[in-house]
Amino acid sequence: MFIFAFLQIIALYVGILIVTQDLTFNFKEIIGMLGVGLFSVILFQFIDIYAVFFLFIGMFILRIWHTKDKLLSFSSLIFSFIALVLGDHFATFVDIHLFRSNELLSKSHFGLMILFMWVFCYLMQHTWALLNKRYYFSSRFKKIGLGMTVFVLVTFYGAIIIGVQLGNTFKLIQLNLLFFVIYTLIMAVSGVLLFQSDRKARQAHEQQVEYEALQLYNQSIEERYLDLRNFRYDYQNMCLSFEECIKQEDTDGLIEYLQSEIIPQSEYLETQTFKLEHLSNIQIPPLKSLLTAKLLHAQENAIDIRLDVRFPISSIEMKDLDLVRVVGIFLDNAIEEIKALGEGNLSVSIDELGDSVHLIVMNSCRSDILPLSQLRKEDYSTKRSNRGLGLANIDQILYNYSNVDLETLVKKQKFIQHLTSIK
């Protein structure tokens, strides 16, 4: 029994490696695993099934030491222990009905248990990899899903402990197996419902973001209309002033008026027009509207802007809605960062090279800006109360675009977002 228990722990650790797709381990890890296994087996002689809790803690510490990833270590342990429980009970069921064995610790039972456990570990890993490739799972869903999985494991071991206290008969083990299968199916259905709810919540949030962007655009259009109306009145007043100076033949007054009013206004208009003149080359209406609104908003906040679109851009291989959302996040974060600095510049360039379109947003940034790994966390925002949208939101949007690549760089106090779309 001692040897079986020790080999079972080794097989469990291999199952953990299967779940994490990391079948490489060093000499120190092997020694650590053997030490944890030996201690747990000895402890099992005194406290029976309760030694599992110490085994879990020991393996958790060992995996953290190896991977440096607490979440990965914890989740892989949870799934592996569930696979162990299911493998043990399925092995008992097959051993009884196929091999007609009446021994709980027979060689056939041990071999089947290891086989089933590794198969379940592989299926769990493979299923998660397929789902993770096909769907996007938010951190909220992952945390709740992991909590549900922990609850499943606790329930399983609670049933096992009760079974041990009641005598652990073959009939009881088979009832436990039926309970485990039904309970696992119920939790799987609950997970599907949770995912659908989470997706609806994310869609509602995205619609709110789109609505706010539309409001900002409408506000910018209204402000441009007011500017145009004010300019018309100013122009009429200037003409009247000119006319009065000419009637009175007041040359000195006319020159002074030109220098103090007309020339500064002309220079201002020329500056504003020049910075946005390349907008006419953007032939994607939603993108043009967004850039107009955001860049004018930046100008109003005394941000030095530059737009470089030298050749007509008629299409980018993304849905217009997704493209606008991504570029909107780029610009919002850039403007917010420059405001935090107090001054800075923002440049946007779009160019078509061969079969790809390159969109680059570059802005001034702080010298002590956080690492990109921190900025890519889903709930992270540089704005208060997490009102902002971070790089994780962009990753979520681009998840289903195999033809789109995003490169994020921080270089010489410049934050650079380089989006490449291949036709």
In this structure, the answer to whether residues 303 and 403 fall within a common structural domain is yes
Q: Is the pLDDT of residue 285 over 60?
A: yes
Look at residue 74 and give its three-state secondary structure. Answer: helix
Range in 22-31, 215-224, 266-275, 307-316 with the lowest mean pLDDT: 266-275
Contact 410, 365 (CB under 8 A): yes
Task: Give tens-digit pLDDT for 49-93.
Answer: 788 888 888 888 888 887 777 878 888 888 888 888 888 888 888
Q: Is the pLDDT of residue 216 over 70?
A: no
Res. 131 pLDDT band, cuts 50 70 90:
confident
pLDDT of residue 358: 95
In a domain, 217, yes or no: no
> Checking DSSP bridges between strand 304-308 and strand 345-353, what pairing results, if any?
parallel
| Domain end among 156, 172, 207 | 207
pLDDT of residue 156: 82
Q: Is the pLDDT of residue 418 over 90?
A: yes
pLDDT of residue 220: 64
Q: Is the pLDDT of residue 370 over 80?
A: no
In this structure, the answer to whether residues 281 and 154 fall within a common structural domain is no
Contact 324, 364 (CB under 8 A): no
Q: Is the pLDDT of residue 402 over 90?
A: no
Which residue in 370, 377, 413, 422 sits closest to 396, CA to CA?
377
In this structure, the answer to whether residues 201 and 287 fall within a common structural domain is no
- The tokens for 79 are 């799934």
The DSSP line for 188-251 is HHHHHHHHHHHHHHHHHHHHHHHHHHHHHHHHHHHHHHHHHHHHHHHHHHHHHHHHHHHHTT-H
Handedness of CA 361, 363, 367, 373 (dihedral sign): negative
pLDDT of residue 275: 56
Residue 147 or residue 101, greater confidence:
147
Contact 315, 286 (CB under 8 A): no
H helix or E strand, kind and range, residue 407: strand 404-411
| Whole-angstrom Cα Rg for the chain | 33
Res. 33 pLDDT band, cuts 50 70 90:
confident
| Domain end among 161, 176, 207 | 207
Range in 8-22, 206-220, 285-299 with the lowest mean pLDDT: 206-220
Task: Give tens-digit pLDDT for 173-183.
Answer: 778 788 888 88
Q: Is the pLDDT of residue 253 over 80?
A: no
In a domain, 95, yes or no: yes
pLDDT of residue 104: 59
Residue 339 or residue 392, greater confidence:
339
Mean pLDDT of 258-277: 62
In this structure, the answer to whether residues 150 and 14 fall within a common structural domain is yes
Note down the domain range covering 300.
277-422
Helix-then-strand count for the chain, H and E: 13, 5
In this structure, the answer to whether residues 200 and 322 fall within a common structural domain is no
Query: What is the separation of C-alpha 146 from the centre of its chain, rounded to a whole number of angstroms?
Result: 17
Q: Is the pLDDT of residue 349 over 90?
A: yes
In this structure, the answer to whether residues 171 and 89 fall within a common structural domain is yes
In a domain, 142, yes or no: yes
How many whole angstroms separate alpha carbon 243 and alpha carbon 389? 54
- CATH number, residue 295: 3.30.565.10
In a domain, 349, yes or no: yes
In a domain, 381, yes or no: yes
pLDDT of residue 362: 94
In this structure, the answer to whether residues 50 and 198 fall within a common structural domain is yes
Q: Is the pLDDT of residue 13 over 60?
A: yes
Task: Give tens-digit pLDDT for 94-113.
Answer: 877 776 666 656 677 778 88
In a domain, 176, yes or no: yes
| Domain end among 192, 207, 222 | 207
Residue 378 or residue 16, greater confidence:
16
In a domain, 213, yes or no: no
In a domain, 253, yes or no: no
In this structure, the answer to whether residues 49 and 175 fall within a common structural domain is yes
In this structure, the answer to whether residues 311 and 182 fall within a common structural domain is no
pLDDT of residue 214: 67
Contact 360, 410 (CB under 8 A): no
Q: How many domains does the chain have?
A: 2
Res. 34 pLDDT band, cuts 50 70 90:
confident
Which residue in 329, 342, 348 sits closest to 387, CA to CA?
329
H helix or E strand, kind and range, residue 52: helix 51-67
In this structure, the answer to whether residues 190 and 295 fall within a common structural domain is no
In this structure, the answer to whether residues 176 and 32 fall within a common structural domain is yes
Res. 410 pLDDT band, cuts 50 70 90:
confident
Residue 220 or residue 322, greater confidence:
322
Handedness of CA 36, 39, 45, 48 (dihedral sign): negative
Q: Is the pLDDT of residue 350 over 90?
A: yes
Residue 336 or residue 269, greater confidence:
336
How many whole angstroms separate alpha carbon 115 and alpha carbon 98? 16
pLDDT of residue 379: 47
In this structure, the answer to whether residues 166 and 25 fall within a common structural domain is yes
pLDDT of residue 347: 93
